[in-house]
Every structure is written in C-alpha cells, then in structure tokens.
Amino acid sequence: MARRIMSLPRLWSSRVFSVELDGRSAPLYFAIQEKHRGEEVPRVFRNLQTHERCYSLFVCSSDRIQRAKFYGELRDKLLKGLPPECDFKPMFSFLPNVKDSLIKGYFVKDTSECSIPTERVFSDLMQSDPVLVCSYSRGEDGRLWTQQLWSCAESQRMEMSEEYYVVPIEAPGYHPSTLNIINSDVFYSFEEAYEVLQKCGDIIPESKAVLELVSQRPEARHKPDFPVIVIEGLDATGKTTLTESLRETLGAALLRSPPQCLSPWRARFDQEPPLIRRAFYALGNYITAEQIGQEAMQTTVIVDRYWHSTAAYAIATAVSGPVCNLPSEGSEVYCWPGDLLQPSLVVLLTLDPEERRRRLRGRGQGTTEEEQELDHNQLFRLKVEGAYRRISGPACVTVDASPSADQVLQQVLLLIRGKCHL
C-alpha cells in the first residue's frame, strides 16, 4: 500500500487551540511550543486522573467541500466507533487574527483502562479519511503535558512524529469561528455561493437543478424604482399577518425568501453541513433579489425575510457560547453583500419569548431545526436577535409585535411613509 500522507496545516507550532466544553461558556485555550519555560498546565488538562488520556482530531483536507462533508460525518463515526468511556467535544485550531485559518475537529478524553480500542479507531480513520490525530501525554511530575502528532507508515502502523509542549494562553478578543464566517457561514457574493454548489454537483445531484435556476449571474439593481420593504423576525412574531396586510393596504407585490422555486430541495440541503446549506440559501437570496428587481419596476414590494435572516441565523449558529462572543458591532461580517439588491426599509418584529412560544403552540405546525433550537435555547435566541440588530446596509428598525395586528400595521405604515415617502 502506498503511504498515505496527511499534510500538516501551515505554521502548526504557531497555532492556538480551543476546546468547547458545553457550547455556552467561553472556550478553553492552549498553545504549543518547542521548549517549556515553566508555564502552568492549561485548564483543559487539569484535574485529569492518572489513567485518563486525551487526543485531538482535526479535519485537514485542502478541499473545503470534502472538509465540510467529512467534519459533518466525523461525529457520527466517533459516536459509533469509540468505546463508551470516551467523551469528545468540538475543538478548533487557528492562527491568531488570520482569516480562513480555522480548522475544525474534536477533543477526545478517554477514561478507559486500555488505550488500544480508542487508538485503533483513530488509526482506521487516518487510513481513509482526511483526519490529523494528536495525542497528549502527561509528564512524570504531572505538571508537563506534550502534544504528539501521529503519522501513518507504510505498514499502516501509527507512529509519533513531532512533539510539542502544551502551554496556556490568554483568550483572544474574538471567538475563533469568526475567522471563517465570511463566505463559509455567510456569503457576500453570488460567485462565492455559486462556486460551492457547482463543486457539489457530483456528490449532491440536486445542486445542478438549483444552479439551473441561477445559471446567469443576476444583475444587481441597487436602486429599485419603487420602495422595497423587508419584514424580519423570528417565527410567530406576526410576519405573515403583517406582510399580507401591507400587501392589501399598499397594493404591493408580496415575495418570500427563500423563494418558492427552491422548496423541492430545501429538505435535502437542510441535511448538509453549514458550508453547503448556507450556499444554497445564499443563492435563494439572489433569486429573490431578481424577483424584487422585476416587481419593483412597477409597484412597491413587501418581502417576508431576506438576507438579514440568512446572516443572523448563520452567525448565531457558527459562534458558540454567550452573546458577547458574537463579532463586535461594525465587523465586516455584518456588512451587506455588494452585489445584492438592498431594500429601502427593514422592519424587525420583536416579541416577548413567552408570548412567542404561546403563539407557536397555537399554530400546531412544524418548525425548522433552527426554530426548534430557538424555542428551548434562550441563548441562541439572544444571539440571533443580537446579530439581527448589528447588520448594516440597511440596519433593522425594531418594532414591538405584542400589540394587536392592526396596531402593529399602523406603526409599520408610519415608518414606511416616513422613510419611503409613501
């Protein structure tokens, strides 16, 4: 068998590593270096029993589609293959302040008495999948930990290659996932989103059908002839009622995003990893933009959700932990795509969480996985709302949706008349 070589990510010894223990608190960070200078043991390695072992696995393919697909599958492979005594958490490796340097993986803690079953799983993965494995060893005094990189020999026997000392490091002023948000979790150009689905043609046949709908790059109409008003908000905040009322009151055209033409493939792409799923919905925004441009030549256009929703949900999902982990206000991740038609006004409907849940129960209808997450995870809801409020170009105008439907309509009509001169 030819030797399978896993290329080491660039500047490995300069990388920072983070472990997500629970998805709600701040990650634990550590770094590696060739010489030890008396540093303390990083928090993630403290309080481990003598027999407990730690490993990390990183998906390191140079092909971003393969990397996204395999990372999505790796969790299931670990759940199925690892002994029950193993626990694993999401992990990142990145170069500080370097965009697109983030690689994803898992931090594994093994509490079993024997390491052979666990390491056999890792060995098998390295033979066929784009995964880099590291093990961590405790020094005799318990105060030094080292990281060893695994290499795959011709005999398929795992060997240790490079070794580094593990040292604590201060948390950066940003969540590491923010380094890779642009054109991975949120797309800022038609070409970037199109390219992702184009590369998926062989593994996701439905991609070709979607691309046929956008075979031509849509023309960006930045100043439509008539006003374009977008209504945003979480499910059950009254968007449908309001948009229908605005359509009737203003004699406007009503559009929804994602567009109806994508409905046959939504369930398929909702199963895909974020890179592919977000590219699909990004293209939906460009289809909606083309429809807006056509309708706005003749009349006012009301749009039920648009790019704000796509970006807010993606950012809130990508960034784990508390709301303060979101990119700060003014970050480029909140900037409107330069080639996407901009609305004249964006209204964000807000509602007390208990009232929103009451309305959802009254509907008795299914919701998306992300909406279900909103329903039981207050932290995720706060991050979505925080991202909504930070998007610029244009920014959202917040409207309380708790009064009666007619009162909300009248308030929004006042906004429209003031900002759009209708």
166 and 223 housed in the same domain: no
* Predicted local confidence at residue 154, as pLDDT: 42
119, 147, 178 - which closes a domain: 178
129, 151, 178 - which closes a domain: 178
Q: Whole-prediction pTM value?
A: 0.89
Asked if the model's pLDDT at residue 22 lies above 90, the reply is: no
Asked if the model's pLDDT at residue 342 lies above 60, the reply is: yes
* Predicted local confidence at residue 378, as pLDDT: 84
Within a domain: 122? yes
What CATH number should be reported for the domain holding residue 187? Answer: 3.40.50.300
What distance in Å separates the CA atoms of residue 222 and residue 244, rounded to the nearest whole number? Answer: 25
Neighbour count for residue 290 (Cβ, 10 Å) = 19
86 and 70 housed in the same domain: yes
Within a domain: 247? yes
Residue, of 49 and 366, whose pLDDT is higher: 49
252 and 309 housed in the same domain: yes
What distance in Å separates the CA atoms of residue 124 and residue 291, rounded to the nearest whole number? Answer: 50
Overall average pLDDT of the 88-94 stretch: 96
161 and 258 housed in the same domain: no
Within a domain: 289? yes
Within a domain: 252? yes
147 and 108 housed in the same domain: yes
141 and 233 housed in the same domain: no
Is residue 82 a contact partner of residue 19, using CB atoms and an 8 Å limit?
A: no
Taking CA atoms, 176 is separated from 94, 103, 363, 416, in Å, by 7, 10, 38, 39
Overall average pLDDT of the 168-197 stretch: 95
Q: Which two tokens stand for residue 113?
A: 């008495």
Closest CA to 190 of 283, 284, 261: 283
68 and 185 housed in the same domain: no
132, 150, 178 - which closes a domain: 178
Q: Residue 158 sits in which domain range?
A: 12-178
pLDDT, tens digit, for every residue of 368-392?
565 556 555 788 989 999 999 999 9
282 and 415 housed in the same domain: yes
Residue at 31: amino acid letter: A
* Predicted local confidence at residue 4, as pLDDT: 45
Lowest mean pLDDT among 19-28, 121-130, 227-236: 19-28
Within a domain: 355? yes
Q: Which two tokens stand for residue 346?
A: 């964006």
Within a domain: 108? yes
When pLDDT is cut at 50, 70 and 90, the band that residue 366 belongs to is very low
390 and 414 housed in the same domain: yes
Within a domain: 366? yes
pLDDT, tens digit, for every residue of 160-173?
567 899 999 999 99
Q: Which two tokens stand for residue 300?
A: 């006012």
170 and 218 housed in the same domain: no
Within a domain: 5? no
122 and 234 housed in the same domain: no
Residue, of 162 and 350, whose pLDDT is higher: 350
When pLDDT is cut at 50, 70 and 90, the band that residue 78 belongs to is very high
Q: How many domains does the chain have?
A: 2
Asked if the model's pLDDT at residue 314 lies above 80, the reply is: yes
How close are the terminal C-alpha atoms of the chain, in Å? 73
166 and 261 housed in the same domain: no
